[in-house]
Amino acid sequence: MLNFLLRSVGLGLITAFIILLAVPSLRSNIIPEDIVDTVESFQELRVSFSDAVLRAAPAVVNIYSRKYTAEDRSTLKTQGLGSGVIVSDKGYIITNFHVIAKADQIIVALQDGRIANAQLVGKDRRTDIAILRIEMTELPTIPLNSNYDAQVGDIVLAIGNPYNLGQTTTFGIISATGRSSISADGRQAFIQTDAAINQGNSGGALVNTHGELVGINTASFQQATDLETYGISFAIPYALADRIMQKIIADGRVIRGYIGVDGQDINTMTSRLLGGDYVGAIIILGVAPEGPAAIAGLQKNDVLLAIDEQKINGRQSVMDIVADLRPGTTVNFTVLRDGETLSIAVQVGESADPE
C-alpha closest to that of 29 among 16, 42, 40, 41: 16
Looking at the structure, do residues 20 and 62 belong to the same domain, yes or no?
A: no
CA 24, CA 4: separation in Å to the nearest integer? 30
CB–CB of 159/168 below 8 Å?
Answer: yes
CB–CB of 327/348 below 8 Å?
Answer: yes
Residue 64 lies inside a defined structural domain of this protein: yes
pLDDT at 7: 59
CB–CB of 123/116 below 8 Å?
Answer: no
User: In which band, very low, low, confident or very high, does the pLDDT at 22 lie, cut at 50, 70 and 90?
Assistant: low
CB–CB of 112/62 below 8 Å?
Answer: no
Looking at the structure, do residues 193 and 241 belong to the same domain, yes or no?
A: yes
Q: Average pLDDT for residues 215-233, to the nearest whole number?
A: 70
C-alpha closest to that of 139 among 246, 58, 212, 51: 58
Residue 159 lies inside a defined structural domain of this protein: yes
DSSP element (H, E) containing 108:
strand 105-109
Residue 142 lies inside a defined structural domain of this protein: no
The DSSP call for residue 288 is -
How high is the mean pLDDT of the chain?
Answer: 83
Given phi > 0 = left and psi -120 to 50 = alpha, else beta, which region is 170? beta
Q: Average pLDDT for residues 230-249, to the nearest whole number?
A: 90
Selected catalytic residue, list 83, 183, 202, 220: 202
DSSP codes of every residue in 211-239: S-EEEEEEEEHHHHH----SS-EEEEEHH
CA 182, CA 189: separation in Å to the nearest integer? 9
CA 284, CA 304: separation in Å to the nearest integer? 7
Looking at the structure, do residues 218 and 160 belong to the same domain, yes or no?
A: yes
CA 159, CA 166: separation in Å to the nearest integer? 10
DSSP element (H, E) containing 52:
helix 50-56
Question: What is the three-class DSSP state of 289?
Answer: coil
The CATH number of the domain holding residue 284 is: 2.30.42.10
Looking at the structure, do residues 59 and 28 belong to the same domain, yes or no?
A: no
pLDDT at 12: 60
Q: Is the confidence at residue 79, as pLDDT, over 70? A: yes
CB–CB of 153/163 below 8 Å?
Answer: no
Looking at the structure, do residues 201 and 280 belong to the same domain, yes or no?
A: no
Selected catalytic residue, list 65, 83, 124, 128: 128
pLDDT at 107: 94
Residue range(s) defining the domain that contains residue 278 = 257-350
Residue 70 lies inside a defined structural domain of this protein: yes
Looking at the structure, do residues 172 and 225 belong to the same domain, yes or no?
A: yes
Residue 143 lies inside a defined structural domain of this protein: no
Looking at the structure, do residues 159 and 223 belong to the same domain, yes or no?
A: yes
The three-point CA angle 259-267-318 to 5° equals 20
CB–CB of 79/67 below 8 Å?
Answer: yes
pLDDT at 83: 95
Selected catalytic residue, list 98, 302, 320, 351: 98
Residue 145 lies inside a defined structural domain of this protein: no
CB–CB of 156/173 below 8 Å?
Answer: yes
Number of domains the chain contains: 4
Q: Is 210 known to be catalytic? A: no
Name the domain boundary from 245, 269, 299. 245
Name the domain boundary from 192, 211, 245. 245
CA 339, CA 326: separation in Å to the nearest integer? 31
What is the pTM for the complete model shown?
0.77
Q: Is 128 known to be catalytic? A: yes
pLDDT at 61: 96
pLDDT one-digit tens code per residue, 245-283: 999 999 888 898 999 998 888 877 777 777 777 788 888
Q: What is each CA distance from 68 to 75, 116, 132, 159, 329, in whole angstroms? A: 6, 18, 20, 29, 43
User: In which band, very low, low, confident or very high, does the pLDDT at 199 lie, cut at 50, 70 and 90?
Assistant: confident
Looking at the structure, do residues 265 and 209 belong to the same domain, yes or no?
A: no
Residue 81 lies inside a defined structural domain of this protein: yes
Looking at the structure, do residues 60 and 117 belong to the same domain, yes or no?
A: yes
Q: Is the confidence at residue 43, as pLDDT, over 70? A: no
Residue 147 lies inside a defined structural domain of this protein: no
231 or 146, which is more confident:
146
pLDDT one-digit tens code per residue, 311-320: 888 888 888 8
